[in-house]
Structure 1
Amino acid sequence: MRRALIILALTALTGTGAASAETLTLQECLTKAAASSRGLKASTHDVAIAQEQISIARSARLPRVDLQAGYTAQLDPQAVKFGNIVQETQDARYPFLNLTIYNTLYDFGRTGAREARARLQSDAAQFSHFGQEQDLFLEVVRAYFGILAAEKLVGAANDEVVQMTAHQKTAQALFEEGVVTRNDLLQAEVRVASSRQNLYGALNQIENGWLYLNYLTGVPASYRADLQEQIETPPLPDQQAVPDLSKRAEISALRALVNADEHAVKEAKSDYYPEIFARFGLDYLDNSKVREQTIYAATLGLKVNLFDGAAKEARIRQAVESRARDEERMRDLEDRVRLELSTAQNDMKVALTRLKVAEKAIEQGRENLRITRDRYQEKVGTATEVIDAQTLLTQTRTDYFRSMFDLQVAAARVKRATGEL
């Protein structure tokens, strides 16, 4: 009866049944996460915004056309005086129109530097997007294998409940025969209750794992499926080899920003140079007092700023400091990625070792439990020995399952560190 209740509780909390017949693979989870993540969608907008900045920078190569029109009403018309004679030169009210076409012919590389900077910033935004996608994939891997590990822990906890319940029945029978004291029976009952608590805790881990995985993959919180166990022993990477970080998106993004800063320095320095421009203008003013109401003009000129309150020097220093800042950030990120890679490689190595040790320990634990239970039934051993043996076996199985999935997550972390997830 108690076993049936445990199975019923497991079914209710994990949502297994007819609705969970669908099998879900890790690759399908990654695909769903990439398609539904709002964070990635927001990052996509950042990429589009940076792309438009290229068009803005490139627009300086094209002519600028301005049109202005209006109607002016004056209290008195303008006039000139020739001795005692006053001659009006303008109507009191008049419409006007101004058309100007302005084009920069040469600016000593200012526009080119601005355009190159925008292009590199766009590349950095794209790399940052890839980096966020890799972070999302790693979270999906953690959630996916976390659920699989929790399911294995539920199985181990459920087996412990069954074993402890059987031990309780044995203790009850021996107590009724007067062979053991009530203390043995109470100890068995307490252990059964503790095992059930462990079972419900493991079930809760599954439930919370599904909630998080469903959030990452953009499916309803109530969705459940059978996760496919793609358990493979990944090869240990060579920790002595020089790590290849060329595919790490965040490093590429910062490298692009450093190059963009180089062009920002060039752009700031170009403010010292003049600008050669061409200008065509059309000015129309409705004035009955003059003969020519439409004036056409073409200008080829040069302009240069002579003084702007030391703003040019400040912009150059600012650009140099930005470049130095991003260079330091890039070096720091490279060091942190190397640390991240080394840590993940060490975790892989340790998890693999733990896995091999736990495999053997499980068999030993099962044999130890069998011998201890037989000794108790033969009234040679004690109840405490039986409980300790069962606890030891459950802990060994727990270590095995956790090592199995820690190995998979560590392998994913290695790929994440190298940008290959």
Structure 2
Amino acid sequence: MHGTTTGMFVKGLALAAGIALSAVPGKPVWADNLTDAFIGAYNTSGLLEQNRALLRAADEDVAIALSALRPIINWTVRVSRNYTRTNTSSVLTTREPSTFFSGLTLSQLIYDGGASILGKQSAQETVLATRQSLIDIEQQVLIRAANAYLGVLLQEETVAIRQNNVEVSAEELRASQDRFEVGEVTRTDVALSEAQLASSQADLAVARGNLSIAQAEYVNAVGKAPGRTAGQPKLPNLPRLENDAVNLAQRNHPAILSAQHQVRALDLVVQQQRANLGPNVSLNADAGVTESYDNDDYTNDATVSLNFNQPIYSGGGLAAAVRRAMATRDASRANLLNVQKNITQGVADRYAAFQAATASLRASTERVRASQVAFDGIREEATLGARTTLDVLNAQQDLLDAQLAEVASRTERSRAAYELLQAQGLLTAERMGLAVQIYDPTLYYNLVKKAPAKVSKQSRDLDRVLKALRRD
């Protein structure tokens, strides 16, 4: 009986994962690995869809800024009634003629000190900043998928260990009862074994509950229920030195690149607001037909004018706009410094966490080995009467704790590795070579950057793109 208990404890761990999974009703039979989780998250994330739409909105801001440099043509219809009173030679005459005007009006900016061009350039920098923000969001989506997968894996391994511990505790209880019947142990030993079994069953119930919670998070993060997990993922390639990781992050992290583009965009806004203090010149023209309701007379006329405007006094609004733009730019510069510091600290933290998790795993593996040897020895000594049931139960608990610590350390090492990858700005679908259709942010931008008219072929191409994106 005792040898069976020890052998079952060792062999059960190898089969426990399959036992735990097969015990879950409706469990899919396919195997999921971390790459599957990444692909599912990338393809189904509503957060990515939201921020891609925000990027398209920023693309349209470039088209809107460009439109300020183009002529504006309107078809105008105007109905008017004029009231005129004339006093000539003591004769008071009142006329109320009504007219109808239909024609075209045109307005073309000629010169505004470069304000409109600066506005377009600022919008382009904002697009570049938003693209980097989208990459940062992508990293957040993928790291959540990684944590969800590792969470499911950890809880499955925990359930397996707890399930095996229940079976070992049950065998130990039967052994105690057999020994009690022949007078080798007391009723107290049997009660200790009963308490151990009850505690193991309670811990197993908690572990199964935690597994259900982890599976729910996986569904939310990845977009589907997890299949049979394929085990711990292969660790990504990581820098050997912390300084290398920091330098890589400073060059590549999308949060830093986004903040840099934001600073440049706001520098251009400051220049734009200063240009608004200067003169602007515009060409205005209209041509149409004016008809009178009083008779059948009509007039064909056209007007062309060149308008020059120089702000003299605007209540202080223009100067305030310049100062506001400067303050906003200064805030963005300070934000860039903060982002750079936060990224540096984040890399250092994640690097230290990975090193600590690696060391913890080595120690935990050695702890499991030593605890297994101790448990086997104490168990055999108990059969000879040299150890008590309490000694066996304590050794069993020590081995259980060591096994749980080992799977937790292994999971934490994988989590720390991918968090370090994220901290460097490298956790993206493109860099990891995921088998997905990589979202191309330039496709939509290239279609709208020249502000195509509604009747143009390019506009029809845009309509097809929006329909494909289910946003029409």
Structure 1 and Structure 2 fold alike (TM over 0.5): yes
Matched, 1:243 2:247: yes
**Pairing partner for 1:394 from 400, 419, 432:** 400
CA distance in 2, matches of 1:349, 1:71: 79
State the match for 2:101 in structure 1: 96
After the TM superposition, which of the residue ranges 93-102 and 183-192 deviates more from structure 2?
Answer: 93-102
**Pairing partner for 1:126 from 112, 131, 149:** 131
On the 8 A contact 1:14/1:203 being kept in 2, the answer is no
After the TM superposition, which of the residue ranges 285-294 and 31-40 deviates more from structure 2?
Answer: 285-294
State the match for 1:38 in structure 2: 46
On the 8 A contact 1:110/1:270 being kept in 2, the answer is yes
On the 8 A contact 2:80/2:100 being kept in 1, the answer is yes
State the match for 2:193 in structure 1: 188
Q: What is the one-letter code of the residue matched to 1:187?
A: L
On the 8 A contact 1:10/1:203 being kept in 2, the answer is no
Alpha-carbon spacing, 1:113–1:301, altered in 2? closer, same or farther (3 Å): same
Alpha-carbon spacing, 1:49–1:376, altered in 2? closer, same or farther (3 Å): same
On the 8 A contact 2:119/2:269 being kept in 1, the answer is yes
Shift of 1:164: 1.6
Matched, 1:201 2:198: no
1:240-295 deviation line (CA, Å, top 9, x unaligned): 33422222112211111111100110111111110021111236432468988333
State the match for 1:56 in structure 2: 64
1:95-143 deviation line (CA, Å, top 9, x unaligned): 2235321111111110111001111111222211111110010011011
On the 8 A contact 1:251/1:334 being kept in 2, the answer is yes
Structure 1, unpaired ranges of 5+: none
1:176-208 deviation line (CA, Å, top 9, x unaligned): 223322221111111111111222222222222
On the 8 A contact 2:235/2:417 being kept in 1, the answer is no
- State the secondary structure of the residue aligned to 2:248: coil
1:129-184 deviation line (CA, Å, top 9, x unaligned): 11111001001101111111222222221222122222211211222223322221
State the match for 2:424 in structure 1: 418
Q: What is the one-letter code of the residue matched to 2:314?
A: D
- State the secondary structure of the residue aligned to 2:247: coil
State the match for 2:5 in structure 1: none
> Percent identity at matched positions?
18
- State the secondary structure of the residue aligned to 1:293: strand
Shift of 1:51: 0.6
Matched, 1:111 2:116: yes
State the match for 1:257 in structure 2: 262
State the match for 2:467 in structure 1: none
On the 8 A contact 1:149/1:401 being kept in 2, the answer is yes
State the match for 1:164 in structure 2: 169
Q: What is the one-letter code of the residue matched to 2:227?
A: A
On the 8 A contact 1:170/1:377 being kept in 2, the answer is no
Alpha-carbon spacing, 1:315–1:59, altered in 2? closer, same or farther (3 Å): same
Shift of 1:86: 5.8
TM-align CA RMSD? 2.5
Q: What is the one-letter code of the residue matched to 1:213?
A: Y
1:225-252 deviation line (CA, Å, top 9, x unaligned): 1122254355563113342222211221
- State the secondary structure of the residue aligned to 1:61: coil
Matched, 1:318 2:328: no
- State the secondary structure of the residue aligned to 2:252: coil
Q: TM-score, normalised by structure 2?
A: 0.81
Structure 2, unpaired ranges of 5+: 1-7, 428-472
Shift of 1:210: 1.4
State the match for 2:184 in structure 1: 179
CA distance in 2, matches of 1:376, 1:362: 21
Shift of 1:391: 0.9
On the 8 A contact 1:248/1:418 being kept in 2, the answer is yes
- State the secondary structure of the residue aligned to 1:67: strand
Matched, 1:14 2:18: no
CA distance in 1, matches of 2:124, 2:274: 19
State the match for 2:360 in structure 1: 354
- State the secondary structure of the residue aligned to 1:96: strand
Shift of 1:93: 2.7
State the match for 2:470 in structure 1: none
Matched, 1:269 2:274: yes
Q: TM-score, normalised by structure 1?
A: 0.90
State the match for 2:230 in structure 1: 228
Q: What is the one-letter code of the residue matched to 2:152?
A: I
Matched, 1:379 2:385: yes
Matched, 1:28 2:33: no
Shift of 1:55: 0.6
CA distance in 1, matches of 2:266, 2:363: 53
